[in-house]
A and B are shown apart, each in its own frame.
Chain A
Amino acid sequence: MIELNQASKRYKNGVNALNDINLKIDQGEFVYIIGPTGSGKSTLIKLLDGEEIPSKGTVNVVGINVGKLRHSKVPLYRRNIGVVFQDFRLLPRKTVFENISYALEVIGMRKNSTRLRVREVMNLVGLDDKGNSFPSELSGGQQQRVAIARAIANKPKVLIADEPTGNLDPAMSDEIMSLLEKINREEKTTILMVTHDLPLVNKHKKRTIVLEDGHIVADLQQGGYVQHD
């Protein structure tokens, strides 16, 4: 499903964000990626969603060589994956309903099916009554749930979540976690979650990949993580 082969990323300013990453994630898995700030987590996500091109090695997602995509083909590739960003990235001038339906209009889904599917995912994330609100009228947790709803609306095979709980309090974080687990279970979506919320990682135990200075320093199948020095 997701496969990185000796992937490295060196930015133009000379920073080596990722070094020689080898990683394989199978369909239906739920994986944490953790590590301190500057360890290369964000770069890893940018490689996966096609925003950055690996300097060396290959990135394969759902059988597509992401680094080789032309600029105009990147959006087409992104229809296979859903991405949830820490800063939500909702369209400010569109309502909740329009934000979610935009992701479906984009792939040319018919109006009636769009409406049904939007209702369905709004129900899944528990925002049935917020369809006509604008993002600015919602709390952070609610906005994050809209972003998740949008990301899963077109049933992507992979969901990438970049610190989805980064701006939320622990109770809200738990809620988002169980939502993601539900999506993983019910929609069979492969989920890759970047986080530095260690209590959360230790509470909901999953396969955990630890990044440090652009290297994978641990890949714990059993999950749970204890800070080392």
Chain B
Amino acid sequence: MINKFFRPIKEGFYGVGRHAAMSISSASAVTITLLIISVFLMFSINVQQFTKDIEQTVQIAVMVDYTHESQEQLDAIGIEISNIEGVNEVTFSSKDEEFQAYLDGFDDDQKELFEPFKEDNPMHHAFYVSVDEGSLLKTVADEIQNIEGIASINYGGESAILVINALNSVRTGGAILAIALSLLAIFLIQNTIKLTIFARSDEIAIMRNVGAKNQFIRSPFLIEGIIIGALGAIIPIFISIYGYIYIYKSLGGVIISKMFVMIPPHPFVLQIAVILLGIGMVVGFIGSFFSVNKYLRWKR
């Protein structure tokens, strides 16, 4: 039983060792594709983070009309806003708080100028609304506008939506590229492994000749594929870790402006390393699975 479990593993390692040149050529195919995948992966995850950050800072400021200042009316408006689909959080800020916040924007000596207004506060009661997704900003804003007793709303307008939409398409594009590259990697690696196994198609036929079942033949090759995938991931992992840390340090953690804050290297690079190792092993496994199956069918 134990023998049954360890035999393919042992044979897999032997296979890699006894066919060293072929193993290296397969592993380098993995290395190249993983490098490209890694770049796109780190790029699109960062863009995703930018989008999230910006989405969180974009709020809809809702000013309540002077005609709706009773507590019941404010409560009703608050509930009505919360009930709109896509609304994440609603915070209330009274007109006194608003006035104070406005005052805080000035120097102390200038504040005196506003003393007269304290009694007759010109500010509105306000609600600050954040939404689940940047794309919902406009629809939510429009619905709030229709609530009775709203004086005005403000949400950074079209430009906020444009930025969020742009980042979203960059992110989607990056993700699609990463997936497409993974598929390409499987195809590439399958071809390389197919070549290396082709040299061994006679071996596979002989194994069937002496009565080896397909699974018995296949399992060491699958382990071999996993090992090759893992070996191929080593270089991309180190380049990704040190490359990302280097870029992060030399850019000071931001791209262009403070609006785009990069994800800190720790533990991000380690997660990337695990993902790359995982992709390498899975791709190696799938690549040899298809290749061995092809040659198992080569002869009856």
Contact = CB atoms under 8 A, between A and B. Distances in A.
A115 to B, nearest CB: 13
Nearest to B4: A108
Contacts of B209: 49, 78, 83, 85, 89
A50 interface: yes
Interface in B203-235: 203, 205-214, 216
A198 B181 CA distance: 62
Nearest to B202: A89
Contacts of B3: 111
B207 A72 contact: no
B211 A103 contact: yes
B211 A107 contact: yes
B18 interface: yes
A139 B300 CA distance: 29
Q: Is the interface of A mostly helix, strand, loop or mixed?
A: loop
Contact of A105 (B7, B205, B297, B300): B7
A102 B210 contact: yes
A78 B208 contact: yes
Contacts of B207: 91, 102, 106
B219 to A, nearest CB: 12
B19 interface: yes
A89 B207 CA distance: 10
B211 A75 contact: yes
Interface residues of B, number: 21
A63 interface: no
B299 interface: yes
B208 A93 contact: no
A128 interface: no
Q: Is the interface of B mostly helix, strand, loop or mixed?
A: helix
A72 B216 CA distance: 11
A76 B210 contact: no
A64 to B, nearest CB: 13
A50 B300 contact: yes
B203 A91 contact: yes
Interface in A69-102: 71-72, 74-76, 78-79, 83, 85, 89-93, 102
Contacts of B205: 89
A198 B136 CA distance: 91
Contacts of B297: 71
A93 B19 contact: yes
Interface string B270-300: 0000000000000000000000000001011
Contact of B300 (A52, A89, A108, A111): A52
3 interchain residue pairs of minimum CB distance = A79-B211, A103-B210, A78-B211
14 contacts: A50-B300, A72-B214, A74-B208, A75-B214, A78-B209, A89-B206, A90-B206, A91-B203, A91-B207, A102-B210, A102-B212, A103-B211, A108-B4, A154-B211
